[in-house]
Amino acid sequence: MAIDVSVIMAAYRAGGTIVRAAQSVLAQTGAAVELVLCADDELDYGALLARELPSTAAVRLCRTPSPRSGPSAARNIALGQARGPIIACLDADDAYAPDRLRRLLPLAERHGAATGPTREIDPHTGAVRVARPRREGPSLPVEDICELRMPFSPVFQRQLCPQGWPAIDFAEDVILNVDLYCAAGGYAFAEAADYHYHLSPGSRSHSADALGSARAGYLQILDLVEKRGWPEPVKALVRRVFREDLAAVDRAQASTRDAPSWRAIVRDGCGEREG
């Protein structure tokens, strides 16, 4: 069977969420979809999924050479196994809305890269924060990719970014999206093509050492910017945003009080709250 979309998933300590994530991929309609799952730990995800998914499910499994290689390494290994001309990404603790790929596939085929709203869901309060472009319209500006401090998961033509995710410690999804924006000359956006971003205390963004990881990642990004072939206004934007976030992290780490979470210090309040 020809594959339209390969969904890339890195899995690290995702035994409690992997079934939900995989089921949301395989429930997509209107496209031939495969899930390419790369384990970055020692869990047997094949056995776990075999108990919950149909035997005909289009799932390809692979593994990093050693545990904790990081999400970029795991995703890029999965990318090497993918068979589809269109690539999508899903974290192992998140989920797709039912029509996400059906809505985004034609936009990615036409424009190169596409995404939809990110619905950040707090499991404790049920609160939902929605990220979408600040101005209504069919595109996601590069300013919103960087300044909203919310993840936008891409659906994109593989040929636009064959190298995949950059080998950095934090915010690699932002840099991938900037790469895609520059390669495609824009970034399509569709309402109702939701990505369900489930907050998880065990994830990198919400863990106890997130500030240190963020600081290391921001320094890597500031070095990486100078090596990218992006237009100078895009480079200036990325420099400004990550210098702001680096300064915020440094202030938090220098405080004599308990350091706030990464989320609390870099999120600028953009977006919409529901629930």
Per-domain residue ranges for the chain? Answer: 5-206
Would the pLDDT of 208 be above 60?
A: no
Q: What is 2-62 written as a DSSP string?
A: --SEEEEEEESS-TTTHHHHHHHHHT--SS-EEEEEEESSS--HHHHHHTTS-TT--EEEE
Query: In the structure, what pLDDT confidence band is assigned to residue 255 with cuts at 50, 70 and 90?
Result: confident
pLDDT for res 126: 86
Would the pLDDT of 268 be above 50?
A: no
pLDDT for res 97: 98
Q: How far apart are CA 236 and CA 217, in angstroms?
A: 18
pLDDT one-digit tens code per residue, 58-99: 999 999 999 999 999 999 999 999 999 999 999 999 999 999
pLDDT for res 124: 85
More confident residue, 264 or 274: 264
Give me the percent of the chain exceeding a pLDDT of 70: 91
Q: How far apart are CA 41 and CA 64, in angstroms?
A: 8
Average pLDDT rounded to a whole number, residues 148-171: 95
Listed residue (55, 186, 65, 53) closest to 115, CA to CA = 186
Q: How far apart are CA 27 and CA 23, in angstroms?
A: 6
Would the pLDDT of 203 be above 80?
A: no
> Could you give the C-alpha distances from 257 to 251, 252, 253, 261, in angstroms and in order?
11, 9, 9, 12
Would the pLDDT of 41 be above 60?
A: yes
pLDDT for res 263: 66
Judge whether 159 and 151 are in contact, CB under 8 Å.
Answer: no
pLDDT for res 254: 85
The CATH homologous superfamily of the domain defined by 5-206: Spore Coat Polysaccharide Biosynthesis Protein SpsA; Chain A (3.90.550.10)
Distant-in-sequence, close-in-space partners of 130: CB < 8 Å, separation ≥ 6:
117, 118, 119, 120, 271, 272, 273, 274
pLDDT one-digit tens code per residue, 9-27: 999 999 999 999 999 999 9
Would the pLDDT of 270 be above 50?
A: no
pTM for the full model?
Answer: 0.93
